[in-house]
A = this chain, B = another copy of it.
Amino acid sequence: MAVGNPTKSKSSLNASRQCRDPEVTRSQILNAAEEEFAREGFRAARTEAIAARTGVTKAKIYYYIESKEGLYRTVLERCSTELLPAIEQLNLDQLPPEQALEQFLRQFLTHTSSNPNIPPIMFLEAIQNKGKYYRDTANLLIKLVEILERGIAAGSFRPLDPRHTAVNILGTCVFYFGALENIKHLWKGKRLLSKEMLEQHTQEALNFILAGLRWQPTSP
């Protein structure tokens, strides 16, 4: 196994075929696999389809990978390498809770907007495989719960259940990406992953979440 250099370009479809650089080929396979797994999940994904997306034969795929399962694990790993470290670097513990939460959400939404395959992959992994191959989402949630607990204790946020609220917040952030095909009918003709729409989602989600945590006019 040991596929891939995640830093290279990610637009995979119809990527320059017949390439001789093995590193590029590995990367192309990984990108195509990510697309396929994001649309089908592990079990329903077909190596044949991954080959077609990459623009090569099935046999060539198997020259580069160990197995479909190994490829899946590699894709999942690559999905989780960037976000958590980036969030750790923000040193959120040292910011006031409101700012910490906003920074967390901005980082998360920006990262997800740049990697819109991640939410469907995680949904499929959770639903189909019950997290057999991946459990890291929990770490994000725990970070979020900590921020909420701190903010509630400090009186910055209303008194709410931090765990349910963390789940509801994450749901607000990622549902958009998981339900693209269900919600697209609300914006006929618009591409939901365009820069414009992603910025709108980020801003609306952020406003909605922060408002949901503030003390209310009627009960201060």
Report which A residues bind B (CB closer than 8 A): 38-41, 43-44, 120, 122-124, 126-128, 130-131, 135, 137-138, 141-142, 145, 158, 160-161, 163-168, 170-176, 178-183, 185-187, 200-201, 204-205, 207-209, 211-217, 220
Contact = CB atoms under 8 A, between A and B. Distances in A.
Contacts of A176: 167-168, 171
B126 A181 contact: yes
Contacts of A168: 172, 175-176, 204-205, 208
Contacts of A126: 178-182
12 contacts: A41-B124, A123-B178, A137-B183, A160-B204, A163-B186, A164-B200, A164-B204, A167-B175, A167-B176, A171-B179, A178-B178, A216-B217
Given A120-B127, A174-B175, A183 B208 contact: no
A127 B205 contact: no
Contacts of A204: 160-161, 164-165, 168
Contacts of A135: 182, 185
A62 B56 CA distance: 38
B182 A175 contact: no
